[in-house]
Amino acid sequence: MGLELEYINGQTPLDEDEKKGLLIPTIANRGELDEFEQQNIEEAIQWVLTRPLKANKILTEKFVRNLHKRMYGNVWSWAGDFRKTDKNLGINKWHISTALKALLDDTLFWIEHETFTPDEIAVRFKHRIVSIHCFPNGNGRHSRLMADIIVNKIYKLPVFSWGADNLVKKGDTRSEYLNAIKTADETIYEPLICFARS
């Protein structure tokens, strides 16, 4: 009978597949990875906060990719690159650029024609970009930061709180978030908008 180890939360070792593209070879477990990623994300947020940004600059493939690279570029070699494999989430890898372009154009239209409230525009964008699943990893955090940028830089409103909790780790807040996402899958966005502001 093999020895079964129990790891403290965040101490689960990374397997070799998870380490592909990792720029910091000393990272040994999920907790360390989360810490380095969070530090990188905070640097990206600081970069965004110091720039005046308009809709026609934010809602471009270049900005979407650059933001992902700024969020993860110190940790992953593939940061900012669209995924090259199909996953159980998201659309076919060959359709990413086309689907993203349609989303960016739709969002510019919504803004120009005031189709929805500012919060709903940002949340609809977040929901659709995460369903495209542009990148190998980090899509949820990237989509939430994009929504924050849209609502703050374009509309000058406060960023979302997103339940004011860690949405990566399991718990009640993550469950509420995932339920709101599933409801948005049915084109009912109110629960996700309310969660974003909770």
pLDDT digits (tens, 9 = 90+) for 158-198: 999 998 877 767 788 889 999 999 999 999 999 999 999 99
pLDDT digits (tens, 9 = 90+) for 47-85: 998 899 999 999 999 999 999 999 999 999 999 999 998
d(CA 83, CA 102): 18
Q: Looking at the domain assignment, is residue 106 inside a domain?
A: yes
Could you tell me the two tokens for 111?
């803004």
CATH number at residue 99: 1.10.3290.10
**Can you give the pTM of this predicted structure?**
0.90
- pLDDT of 7 higher than 50: no
Q: How many domains does the chain have?
A: 1
- Measured from the Cβ of residue 80, the count of other Cβ atoms closer than 10 Å reads 19
Q: Looking at the domain assignment, is residue 165 inside a domain?
A: no
Q: Looking at the domain assignment, is residue 184 inside a domain?
A: no
Which DSSP symbol is given to 151? Answer: I
pLDDT computed for residue 164 by the predictor:
80
Q: Which pLDDT band holds residue 5 (cuts at 50, 70, 90)?
A: very low
Closest by CA to 51, choosing from 153, 156, 124, is: 153
Domain span at residue 113? 17-160
Q: Looking at the domain assignment, is residue 168 inside a domain?
A: no
Asked if residues 139 and 87 have their Cβ atoms less than 8 Å apart, the reply is no
pLDDT digits (tens, 9 = 90+) for 18-55: 578 999 989 888 889 999 999 999 999 999 988 999 99
Over the chain, what is the mean pLDDT? 90
pLDDT, mean of residues 125-140: 95
Q: Looking at the domain assignment, is residue 189 inside a domain?
A: no
